[in-house]
Amino acid sequence: MEENKNANQEKLSPENTDMDMSNFSEDDEDGLVFSWFKKLAILFFEIVKVVVISLAIILPIRLFLVQPFYVEGASMEPNFYQNEYLIIDEISYRFNEKQRGEVIIFKNPQNTKAYFIKRIIGLPGETVSVENGKVFINGEVLDEPYISHLSSDNHASVILADEEYFVMGDNRTNSLDSRQLGPINKSYIIGRVWFRGWPVNRINTFNLPSYENIGNK
């Protein structure tokens, strides 16, 4: 019995328990650190790869295809308000024929660092005049359903040259446009307003207005 008791005590002694750490070495600790470092390096590489791929996709779209634009001022009310966020079709618009009624972004010819948002009213080769606030194209009055309040101003007839456009704000009583700046050359036009992304309750795309007696081209 004494021998069995001694044997059991020997089995339960600290030297024979599972808590013996003699099997671990500094090499194992170094291996564990290296394994964690390797995992972090792989994670970092994957994040960088996703960022690079995303930029490769987004930047060309941002720089060459579409541009964001924030409305400043009241010249296009009630159709566009201050601080609305718009997406501008830039590249494809360069290759498309400009049409009457399109809302465009262009550089101010008198200060090319400033950008304006206006609507195309007159096309190359046309004669444009304003009488008591009404716009006449080649002597025919232009029906403009998007205008809430007409001004009472007058503007002498202007014959548009090739690649020249007569642009006006929808808020005719509060707009700096071709009535003051003169016709806008095609080279100053940046793009066409394609999409409104903000505010949420006004998100939409834009269709051309219908000019029954004159047409859009």
Q: Tell me which H or E stretch contains 59.
A: helix 26-60
pLDDT beyond 80 at 71? yes
Please give the mean pLDDT across all residues of the chain.
Answer: 81
Instruction: Mean pLDDT check: name the lowest of 47-56, 72-81, 86-95, 101-110.
Output: 47-56
The confidence score (pLDDT) of residue 96 equals: 84
Q: Mention every residue, 6+ apart, whose C-beta is less than 8 A from residue 177.
A: 75, 116, 118, 167, 168, 169
Q: Is 81 exposed, middle or buried (0-12, 13-18, 19+ CB in 10 A)?
A: middle
For 108-148, give the DSSP string.
ETTEEEEEEEEEEEE-TT-EEEEETTEEEETTEEPP-TT-S
Interatomic CA distance for residues 55 and 60, integer angstroms? 8
Mean local confidence (pLDDT), 94-98: 85
DSSP state, residue 169:
-
Write the single-letter amino acid at 195.
F
Half-sphere exposure of 15 (CA within 13 A, CB side): 3
Rg of the chain's alpha carbons, rounded to an integer? 35
The confidence score (pLDDT) of residue 177 equals: 95
Mean local confidence (pLDDT), 60-68: 55
| pTM over the 0.75 mark | no
The confidence score (pLDDT) of residue 2 equals: 47
pLDDT digits (tens, 9 = 90+) for 147-195: 987 888 899 999 999 999 999 999 999 999 999 999 999 999 999 998 8
Write the single-letter amino acid at 174.
N
CATH topology of domain 71-205: Umud Fragment, subunit A (2.10.109)
User: Alpha carbon of 143 to those of 133, 165, 205: distances in Å?
Assistant: 12, 18, 22
pLDDT digits (tens, 9 = 90+) for 102-155: 999 999 999 999 999 999 999 999 999 999 999 999 999 999 999 987 888 899
Q: Would you kindly state where each structural domain of the chain is located, as residue ranges?
A: 71-205
Q: Are 70 and 194 in contact (CB under 8 A)?
A: no
Interatomic CA distance for residues 215 and 217, integer angstroms? 6
Interatomic CA distance for residues 210 and 143, integer angstroms? 9
pLDDT digits (tens, 9 = 90+) for 8-58: 454 444 444 444 545 545 556 666 767 777 778 787 777 876 665 554 444
Please identify every residue annotated as catalytic.
75, 118
Interatomic CA distance for residues 90 and 87, integer angstroms? 9
Mean local confidence (pLDDT), 89-112: 90
The model's confidence at residue 64, banded by pLDDT at 50, 70 and 90, is: very low
The model's confidence at residue 5, banded by pLDDT at 50, 70 and 90, is: very low
pLDDT beyond 80 at 61? no
Q: Are 109 and 188 in contact (CB under 8 A)?
A: yes
Highest-scoring range by mean pLDDT, 75-79, 85-89, 146-150: 75-79
Q: For residue 199, what are its two tokens?
A: 């505010």
